[in-house]
Amino acid sequence: MSRLTLTLFGSLAITLDSQPVTHLESDKVRGLLARLALEPERAFRRETLSALFWPETPASRAAQNLRQALYALRQAIGDAYLLVTP
């Protein structure tokens, strides 16, 4: 099994199997990963996350932004660390 490591103090550092994950270009996508990692056993509602990261955006656009952010995370770290449900 692969190993995902996040360093949250100082500059955010993300490694997967000791290799840096550098292609998460959006601060919000990196922030989403950090937020989810802080409470790995918690199930977050999509509405809660979209309102947290895109509070000034209409709900439909915020939901689309969240879908795109989750897609970017899945592409970067795979499905082993994310359980995404509709």
Q: Which residue bears the tokens 């998460």?
A: 24
CA–CA gap between residue 11 and residue 7 (Å, rounded): 8
Taking only the tens place, the pLDDT of each residue in 33-54 is: 999 999 999 999 999 999 999 9
Query: Would you say residue 84 lies in a domain?
Result: no
CA–CA gap between residue 55 and residue 81 (Å, rounded): 26
Instruction: Tell me the one-letter amino acid at 7.
Output: T
Tokens of 48: 């809660």
Answer for the pair 59, 46: CB distance below 8 angstroms, yes or no. Answer: no
* pLDDT averaged over every residue in the chain: 93
Which whole number is the average pLDDT over 10-39?
Answer: 93
CA 67 to each of CA 10, 18, 81: distance values in angstroms, whole numbers, following the listed order: 28, 27, 16
User: Number of structural domains, the chain?
Assistant: 1
Domain housing 53 = 4-77
pLDDT band at 25 (very low <50, low <70, confident <90, very high): confident
CATH number, domain of 37, equals 1.10.10.10
Query: Would you say residue 86 lies in a domain?
Result: no
Query: Would you say residue 69 lies in a domain?
Result: yes
Listed range (20-24, 35-39, 57-61, 67-71) with the worst mean pLDDT? 20-24
